[in-house]
Structure formats: C-alpha cells, structure tokens
Structure 1
Amino acid sequence: MKVNVAVVGATGLVGSMMLKVLSEENFPVDNLFLFSSKKSDGEKINYCGKEYIVEELKEDSFLEKNIKIALFAAGGSVSEKFAPLAVKAGATVIDNSSFFRMDKDVPLVVPEINPEDIKNNKGIIANPNCSTIQSVLPLKAIHDKYKIKRVIFSTYQSVSGSGLKGISDLENGTLLAYKYPIINNCIPQIDVFLENGYTKEEMKMINETKKILHDDSILVTATTVRVPVKYSHSISINVEVEKPFEISDVKKAISEYPGMVLQDDIANEIYPMAINSAGKNEVFVGRIRRDFTVENGINLWCCADNIRKGAATNAVQIAKKVLED
C-alpha cells in the first residue's frame, strides 16, 4: 500500500538524506510533498526520476493532502509549531529535532532497540540525537546480558552535525557555525552551556540514553567534542556492568545484534573509523577491551554516519515500522 509522504526541511542536509534513504529503501511513496523555508520556495528536487517543487511551509500545508507520514528535519521551533498541525491533519510525524524527545507522551525510538514504543505514539515519534543513536545500539546489547551500571561518553563529532554551515567552516575556514576555527582544532562545546556546566548536547545523550533503554538507574555522563571531520561521529564509550563477563562474549553479543558491524581485529589494526562509516547505514563497533580499573568494566569505540543512521536512516526505519502496525 502506497502512502502520501511529506518531508519538512527537504533542502537541508538531513532532509536531502531522508529523500535519498526513502528512495534506497523503496519506501511506498504515493504522493510526495516537500516543504522548506520561504527562501527555498520553488526549488526543484528530483526524486526517483520525477521532479518535485519545494513549497514554503505554512499553517495550512498539511490540510486536505491525506499525508500519512511526515518526516521533520527543520529544527525545534519548526517542529514545535507545525508538527501538531500535521498530526491534526492526520499525519504521523517523525521528528528529528530535540523538541519532543523528552516528552513523556512521545516515544523516542531506535527501531532495533525499542520498536514496541512506536505503538504508544499520539501522532508524534521522536528521532533521537545522532550521537545517542549510535551509542545505545552497543549499549543495548551489553545491557541485555550484563546490566549496565554506569556509562561515560566521550564524543568526536563531525561538522556535518552543524549542517551546511559546519561543513563550510571546515572546508572554507568560515566562522558560520562555530566561534573558533575548526580546521586543525577540536572544540569541546556542542550546543549551548547549561547551568550545570554541561552542554545541551551532553545532556541530550545523558537523558535520551536512559529513556531509550527504559532504565533511569543507569548513571550516565558525557563530554561532547566537535572535530575537523566532515561526516560520521566517533564515540569512546566506557561501561561498567553488574555481572562478570568474557570479552569474547561481549564481542559476540555486539556482532549478533541488528544494525551493528563488529570491526575488532587489532592484530591487523582493523577498527571502526569515521572515513569508513561515512555513507553507511550501520553502526561500526570495535576496540572492545576490558577496563581494569573497575570490577566489571568495558571500553569500546563506535563510528556511524551521523546524517544517515544518526538521523535520516533511523527516521525512515521508524516510518517503515509505523506502516507495519
């Protein structure tokens, strides 16, 4: 059964990738509606060999179009205003912004982990933060077997996480996305600082991890850093678990879990890298080893394309699950 689909923010990095992934996945699109800001009104986008005209997003954009799935990739303020209007018009919204993520009435979903939460939606399903998505996949595999007590995230996040402005800062030396040069630099600030000394990005990872894993008892801390890489985030994850383990069993659990690829062959210096995960939909995990400073500690390293699995691919996976229900 084909359905009408809308993409909000269709001309941006994530919106463009959503269209690419919809095409790759042969998503059952009947009529496609593309919305963006006023400055992109009238632009033409090719989707599966057909040309579509981008429309300015307005309050009546969703009326009488019978849109089943609305993919939002235009920022929190747009989602706050227009997502409820889309729902009122009959659409199920999958929102890539952070606006609804911690709302108790909105499911926060990584389809390999908690697809059952989709059924509890009231018209809006939140797509998690890009860094959270790639981190919770290996964490879920570990948590199911050994019960996680504590997690320490240290991220190395690419400039595409800041959109086209971030890419310009890396490629052209501009200062559109960042206060400081990103070329030959690492910036230990992603998003604004909060009163507790953490950045908003760090608190997203802390809070979203607990919500997706359905366990508020897990202690989580994070340091998020922007690095001079164009695509793909890399994350160092330190985990303390309750139960004893063998590293070989941890590797096996991760290799068998959906959505992940184990790359862990230190004898041949094979491990995940941003350059290799760019353009892929999977999360790559390696450097899995024991942390000898605690009784049951694990270190691991994971890489994933932040625009694909960290945003567009995860959203389309959710949309496919919505249609299955």
Structure 2
Amino acid sequence: MTKKRKVCSPSQEGQRDLCSELKEFIVSENAKCVKEIKDSNDRRLAALEESLSFAMDSLSAVSERQRSADTDIIQLRKETAELRHRLQQLELGEDQQQQQKRLTCLVFSGPTLQAQTRREDAASLIRSLVQHHLKHTLDSSQVKAMIRLKNGKILIEFTSAAPGSDRDILFRTKSKLRGSGLFIAKSLTPRRQAIFADLLQLKREGLICSVFTRSGDILVCRSRDSAPIRIADPEAVRQLAGAGAPGRRARRHAQLPEGEGQGNRSQRQGESSESMRERCCPRHLLRAMCWRPR
C-alpha cells in the first residue's frame, strides 16, 4: 500500500520560504558582525601597541634624563665638597694670619677696668697695678697701640713678643695679679674664642681634663696622662664631645661613693677653678701653659 504524499497549501510554502530567507539573513549578519568586531579589535590592539610603544619610548627618555640628572648631582656634590674644603682652607689660612698678628697683643679685663671710662685712666691703672704686683715698669716705647673694646676690656698691642719683652713678662707673671681685680689673657680671633668657649663648657661637663692655648693654638687634654690635642675647627669640638661623653660619664658614675649625699656633691662642684686645674693638669701641662713664645 503506497503512502500518500502530504500536499502543502500555498500559505505554508510562503512561510517556509520566509524562514529560509530569515536564516540566510541571520547568517550573513552574524558574519558581518563578527568581521566588524574583529576589525575593531584589531584597530584597538594596534592603537594599544602604538600607545605602549610611545610609553616605552617616553620611559626610556625619562630614565636617560634621570641617569643624566644623577650624574650631574654626583658631580655637583663633588664640586660642592671641593668648594667647601677650599673655603675651609681659606678660612683657616685667614684665621691663622689674624692670629699671628695677635701674638703681640694682650687683653686686660676685670672689675677695676670697668669703672674707668677714659682710656688714659685705664692705662694709668694698668701701669700702677703692674708696678705694684709684678714689680715691673712698663716701657712706653714697647706699647704700639691701646684699644678699648666694646665689652669694656682693654687690648694692648706690643711691638714684640720676644722673651724678655714687656708682653712676655706680663703674660708669664700674670698669676701674681690674683686678687688685684686685673686679669690678663691672650688675644684670640673671634673664631678661636668661640671654640675655646665650647671647650671650656666641655671641661665643666667633665668631658675633657684641661684646655689651654699655646702661640694662639688651642690644645686639649682628655685625661691627666694624655698628650695635648690641637683643636682647629668646630667639627673637632663636636667629635671630641661625642667621643668623650660615654666613657667620662661612666667613669664619673663609677667613682661616685655609694653613700655620698647631695651636699657633698654640691661642695665638690663648688671647688675653685684653680684647684680643679691643679688636680687635673700634670706638671708638664702647667709648664706648657706658661710657655714663652720665641
């Protein structure tokens, strides 16, 4: 028995053709969309690669500039260090020249001079005190100049500092003026005066044993048995303070008796500077402080 063929109506045939056309349209549109998306991605990838290439070139240029800047900074630091060293050498040389000119000068101070407002009266007072306590008559021909400083002290410049001169005799025998109200000191440059003041503070703190001058140079002894050390600049003072602080404080703490009270410590702190110098300085250092320039 043969199977009968199904006959489609004209409307069904039209729907089938429409579905076929719709499928073909969808396939073609999908292909177009895929192609457009691929082309768009390719363009974006190319733009990204170009941006990355530009960024790498810029980064390389920045790195090169950074290396050049680092090289310039290193060179500038070297030049700055050299200039600083040269400036320090110039300052030291100028300070040395000024100090050489001050070797023939002495500074007179004390409450007796503060009361004298006229330079002539101060000069007369100095002559009388020197004559009375030192048994020495000043030679007017050896006095080159006399200047009253702003702080009330008197600076006298002598013609010579050789052994036997008035300047030499006054400085060697100045200890005999104790109790007269007149003090004699060497004339130091402002730079050396500041260094000497800082070292005196270190001595009061117990970080060094003694400080004195010799021919304008500032010398320091860390302990009673140590050799004198020449201090030429503030940096040496800072190094000396940093190096001496821990050991000195430890020794002072170890030497302190366990039962010592606050009253005994205050009494020890009230000792005169002269007794402290005699206790800390050995004899050869005391002789060095009275050294005569040649």
Query: TM-score when scaled to structure 1?
Result: 0.22
- Kindly indicate which of the two structures has a greater share of residues assigned to strand: 1
Higher helix share: 2
Instruction: Pick 1 or 2: higher relative contact order, CA cutoff 8 A, min separation 6.
Output: 1
Larger gyration radius, structure 1 or structure 2 = 2
Q: TM-score, normalised by structure 2?
A: 0.24
